[in-house]
Structure 1
Amino acid sequence: MNERQRTIVALNAHPDDEALLSGGTLAGLASRGHRVVLVTATDGDAGWAPAELMESGRLGQVRLAELPRSAAALGAADVIPLLYADSGHLGEVPPDPPGRRRFVRVPVAEVAERVAEIVRRERADVLLGYDRNGGYGHRDHVHVHHIARAVAAATDVQLLEATAPRERILRVLRWVSRVRTLPNDFAIEEWTQAFSPTQEITHRIDVRAQLPAKRAAMLAHASQADGSFPRTLGFILGLPRPLYRLAFGTEHFLDPTCSPRSGRERRHRDMLDGVQGTDG
């Protein structure tokens, strides 16, 4: 029995999100011959990086240049940057740069029309977005959530939302905080409403076999992977390998059309459960 090729369009907010949230799953799908297309909304220019890079005004260009290397590590077939400006995580949204808009200032319908065109052109079977909290709550991630929902409503694509079990994340953060200093974007109290309750998660994907590809995709984002300053990606890559494997060996998604699951129900082990067909 040959697996029918499917197309997965993964909509992400910033360069590096594709590696962090769903890199193992995407790498696994690509290795099985499925077509993976990365759509990245912003250039990440309002993120953090070493001071000299931030002061240069080139952070967005650098991060977009890193994205194809991450895509290659995951086996993605194409990368489509939408080229909006990063809206920043904290405080007021920065002023728009010349000739461009900060992502959250662009109406949902306008971006959804662009993404829906990509979904139709690719004949996508699955669209990946984010859960309603936008993961850890970045305003650009929340915007992606609403856009992906609008695209799903306008097309026949199946929507899945990248997430993580909130309860487990809180346990891990509290444990790690006892032995290591957390990055400054890891204030534990802010994570009590982050991501999704375990009962809402419909897909639990074992990606331990894909961790080398996931890690390579993370390392491709060198501007974010420098452990000399307090950035999430650098912190993650500095974890001992056994802890990295424990923390990132499983990826989680939810189907927003499903009701919360009871503890007795089994979760899907393959992203394509429900859409996957076989030929021959």
Structure 2
Amino acid sequence: MATLVAFNAHPDDECLLTGGTLARAADEGHRVVLVVASDGCMDAVPDGGAPRLAELRAAARVLGAHRVVHLGYADSGHGAELYPDPPDRQRFLRADPREAAERLARVLREEKADLLLGYDRNGGYGHRDHVRVHQVARLAFALAPVPRLLEATVPRETTARLARLLREDASRLESMFLPRAEITHAVNVRRYAARKQRALAAHRSQTGGKLPGTLVGLPPWLFAALLGREWFHEVPRGAAGPTAEAAVPRR
């Protein structure tokens, strides 16, 4: 039995690019641990806890994950502005990447992890918390004795083709995800697509008028056709250093 640690930026991110892989790993007898950087809250955590962390724990049960860990940060939000920290914790983007990496490395050591999942260098579609996950995962990979790091992504050519079918501007995708030539692993998860869709549905706060809601509302066969394969870029151990932006905390 191996131990897989999946590091994500926000609750619900674990489903979109890696949910099928996590469910498959759990079904095949491996230990699956979900680590999330932020709790998905922009403000102070309400009495009773962060609602999106509760949704994450529900999704984890659907996927078969054994443990959920929050690194203690708040959501950094979208847009150019970096909002002030809430009164009770720091925003993920404002935290020192080395500190965040040590928190993640602590989990990797506790779990004696065999595999770490992070994000590609573009943070997938470019959300700043996702880019920071990429940076922190690489730093933690250098700090902890985890043998392998796989970065979740999507072939850029696939997303561009979909954009053209939807008559969207495909040029903006040039800085998103990775070209197919950089992808080292493609995982067939069609058998686990229904689990992936149910786990996504557990994130109830994110399904109203947003992409997760659109995906949850798809017929199961169409969801499986669109999200039944997951892709990764494996990082060689010698290439695990942080990208340039990782060295400077955002203040």
* TM-score of the superposed pair, with normalisation by structure 1: 0.79
Q: Which residue does the alignment assign to 2:91? A: 102
Separation (CA, whole Å) in 2 of partners of 1:177 and 1:57: 41
Instruction: Render the CA deviation track for 1:210-237: whole Å, top value 9, x for unaligned.
Output: 01110111000011112xx2x1111222
Within the alignment, does 1:202 sit opposite 2:184 as a pair? yes
The structure-2 alpha-carbon separation of the partners of 1:177 and 1:232, relative to structure 1 and needing over 3 Å to count, comes to farther
Separation (CA, whole Å) in 1 of partners of 2:72 and 2:164: 36
Q: Which of 5, 25, 32 pairs up with 2:28?
A: 32
Q: Which residue does the alignment assign to 1:274? A: none
Separation (CA, whole Å) in 2 of partners of 1:177 and 1:251: 24
Q: CA deviation at 1:189?
A: 4.4
Is 2:101–2:137's contact at 8 Å kept on the other side of the alignment? yes
Within the alignment, does 1:151 sit opposite 2:140 as a pair? yes
Separation (CA, whole Å) in 2 of partners of 1:91 and 1:239: 32
**How is 1:158-237 mapped onto 2 (pairs within 5 angstroms)?**
158-177=148-167, 188-226=170-208, 229=209, 231-237=210-216
Separation (CA, whole Å) in 1 of partners of 2:229 and 2:144: 29
Q: Which one-letter code corresponds to 2:191 in the other structure?
A: A
Q: Which one-letter code corresponds to 1:239 in the other structure?
A: L
Q: Which residue does the alignment assign to 2:230? A: 251
Unaligned runs of 5+ in 2: 238-251
Within the alignment, does 1:23 sit opposite 2:19 as a pair? yes
Q: CA deviation at 1:90?
A: 1.5
Q: Which one-letter code corresponds to 2:142 in the other structure?
A: A
The structure-2 alpha-carbon separation of the partners of 1:242 and 1:173, relative to structure 1 and needing over 3 Å to count, comes to farther
Instruction: Render the CA deviation track for 1:32-73: whole Å, top value 9, x for unaligned.
Output: 110000001101124xxxxxxx9x979x82211101100000
Separation (CA, whole Å) in 1 of partners of 2:201 and 2:219: 15
Q: Which of 79, 88, 101 pairs up with 1:112?
A: 101
Separation (CA, whole Å) in 1 of partners of 2:22 and 2:41: 25
- What secondary structure, in the 3-state scheme, does the structure 1 residue paired with 2:61 have? helix
Q: CA deviation at 1:99?
A: 2.2
Q: Which residue does the alignment assign to 2:37? A: 41
Q: Which one-letter code corresponds to 2:88 in the other structure?
A: G
Q: CA deviation at 1:240?
A: 4.0
Separation (CA, whole Å) in 2 of partners of 1:233 and 1:201: 25
- What secondary structure, in the 3-state scheme, does the structure 1 residue paired with 2:174 have? helix
Separation (CA, whole Å) in 2 of partners of 1:144 and 1:238: 28
- What secondary structure, in the 3-state scheme, does the structure 1 residue paired with 2:126 have? coil
Separation (CA, whole Å) in 2 of partners of 1:33 and 1:104: 35
Q: CA deviation at 1:95?
A: 1.4
Q: Which of 2, 6, 9 pairs up with 1:10?
A: 6
Separation (CA, whole Å) in 2 of partners of 1:17 and 1:177: 26
Is 2:206–2:213's contact at 8 Å kept on the other side of the alignment? yes
Instruction: Render the CA deviation track for 1:73-126: whole Å, top value 9, x for unaligned.
Output: 000000001121101122201111002111010011001111111101100000
Separation (CA, whole Å) in 1 of partners of 2:172 and 2:215: 18
Q: Which residue does the alignment assign to 1:75? A: 64
Separation (CA, whole Å) in 2 of partners of 1:71 and 1:247: 22
Unaligned runs of 5+ in 1: 47-53, 179-186, 259-280
Separation (CA, whole Å) in 2 of partners of 1:80 and 1:215: 22
Q: CA deviation at 1:188?
A: 4.9
- What secondary structure, in the 3-state scheme, does the structure 2 residue paired with 1:95 have? coil
- What secondary structure, in the 3-state scheme, does the structure 1 residue paired with 2:85 have? coil
- Computing the radius of gyration from Cα coordinates, the structure with the larger value is 1
Separation (CA, whole Å) in 1 of partners of 2:166 and 2:41: 29
Instruction: Render the CA deviation track for 1:152-181: whole Å, top value 9, x for unaligned.
Output: 111221111011101101211331358xxx
State the superposition RMSD in angstroms: 2.0
